[in-house]
Amino acid sequence: MTEQMRETVDIIGRDDINDLEAILSVVNTDVDEERHTVHSVYDTIFTWDYEKGQRPKLEKLYEKAKKSQWNGQTDLPWETEVDQEALVVANAVANGGFGEGLDVSGTSMALWGDKEWIDFGVQSQNWTLSQFMHGEQGALVCTAKIVESVPWIDAKYYAATQVMDEARHVEVFAKYLDDKLSGHYPINAHLRLLLDDIIADQRWDMTYLGMQIMVEGLALAAFGFMHQMTTEPLLKQLLRYVMSDEARHVAFGVLSLQEYYEQLSAAEIRERQEFAFEAAVRMRDRFLQQEVWERMGVNPKEIVPLLMQIPDRQVFQSLLFSKIVPNCKKLGLLDAADGWLRVKFTELGVIGFEDWADTGEEYDSLQSTPGAGAVA
């Protein structure tokens, strides 16, 4: 260990990962901005070695991606009527009523009737889909950067197909929000901090680690969860299409980094571990959906501690890491540098997923089943 190793406070801006006061103080101060600029200096790499298939697994992914393109405008049943309020009510009924498991007595929410709970459900969905959309734009931008900065031709080819995939994902989430839901939310501040850090880093592998492993690993789990829960047929279909692409994207990250990390020094690996930890914390923090509470006139500081105590919520929150942890393990990031990341993931309560299927394995098994992983 050298003395440049950073402490938790240097990595995430606070000592205690569960310091709610500090988490909630990170807010988006310019909610009306129309664009956001991140300065980034990095090397754009040309390769003169055009021999295709030097990395056979990447080549296979590329061939697969070319055949799995779909059209967000014409392949989804956009004519489906969506009654957002009715869905919120049906969802509450299926789950034991509004605010099931949450004891709001003594808070401002104790006075909420059905109207407020329905409005909350609607806002919560608007918020969730908006963050998915912003995350997809992050993926679009990051993957375009990978096309430029990765040195291998097979990776440039594959990444180019992912750029198209991500454009389509942004397009379909934006269209769903505009046509079927009732309002956009600006990007959550924790998510923006993370996207800024990923895009500003000059090292090409950090773009992969932040985006393909961490953000997309979490997205794959979150989309899967929503796909399972929703009864709305258009959204279900949309998520299934997006997920079939995302599984490939995460596999691209695992396959590319595995080779590269084998040649890094312990100090370099430690920097990757710190980055993975930062990303994990930022993504966990964004799920508190503080902007929704504010819009509902509830002080997040009052309600978030109660939310954290709901057992189902803890399970859901940790399940979001069910792809990330095995993938980090596969990359050798858990146990390198004295197991630093293992300790951090243990503090976050997600280490239990380490032996779940990693996306490399999972993707291989998907490919051996005819038709799976592709859009039917």
Shorter beta-carbon distance to Fe ion: residue 246 or 274: 246
Is residue 249 involved in binding Fe ion (CB under 5 A)?
yes
Applying the rule CB under 5 A, the residues between 298 and 357 that interact with Fe ion are none
When the beta carbons of 166 and 201 are compared against Fe ion, the nearer one is 166
Q: Does 282 bind Fe ion (CB under 5 A)?
A: no
Q: Is 57 in the site for Fe ion (CB under 5 A)?
A: no
SS3 226: helix
Listed in sequence order, the residues at least 6 apart from 16 whose beta carbon sits closer than 8 Å to its beta carbon are 22
CB 104, min distance to Fe ion, A: 35
**In the complex, least distance from residue 37 CB atom to Fe ion, rounded to whole angstroms:** 22
Confirm if 181 and 88 have CB atoms less than 8 A apart: no
Decide whether 187 or 348 has the Cβ nearer to Fe ion: 187
Task: Choose, by CB under 5 A, the member of 76, 118, 139, 288 that binds Fe ion.
Answer: 139
Q: Is residue 169 near Fe ion by the rule CB under 5 A?
A: yes
Integer Cα distance of 69 and 72 in angstroms: 10
Residues 207, 133, 292, CA angle at the centre, nearest 5°?
115
Listed in sequence order, the DSSP H helices in the chain are 8-12, 20-24, 56-67, 84-94, 114-149, 153-180, 189-200, 204-207, 216-229, 233-261, 266-286, 290-295, 300-308, 311-319, 324-330, 336-347, 359-368
Instruction: Write down the least CB distance from residue 375 to Fe ion, Å.
Output: 14
- Per CB under 5 A, 134 contacts Fe ion: no
Task: Draw the binding track, 195-234, toward Fe ion (x: CB under 5 A; -: no contact).
Answer: ---------------------x------------------
| Contacts of Fe ion in 147-166 (CB under 5 A) | 166
Task: Considering the complex, state which of residue 12 and residue 226 has its C-beta at the smaller distance from Fe ion.
Answer: 226
According to DSSP, residue 209 is labeled I
By CB under 5 A, how many residues form the interface with Fe ion?
7
> How crowded is the C-beta side of 205, counted as CA atoms within 13 Å?
19
In the bound complex, what is the minimum distance in angstroms from residue 218's beta carbon to Fe ion?
11
CB 212 within 8 A of CB 36: no
Binding site for Fe ion (CB under 5 A): 136, 139, 166, 169, 216, 246, 249
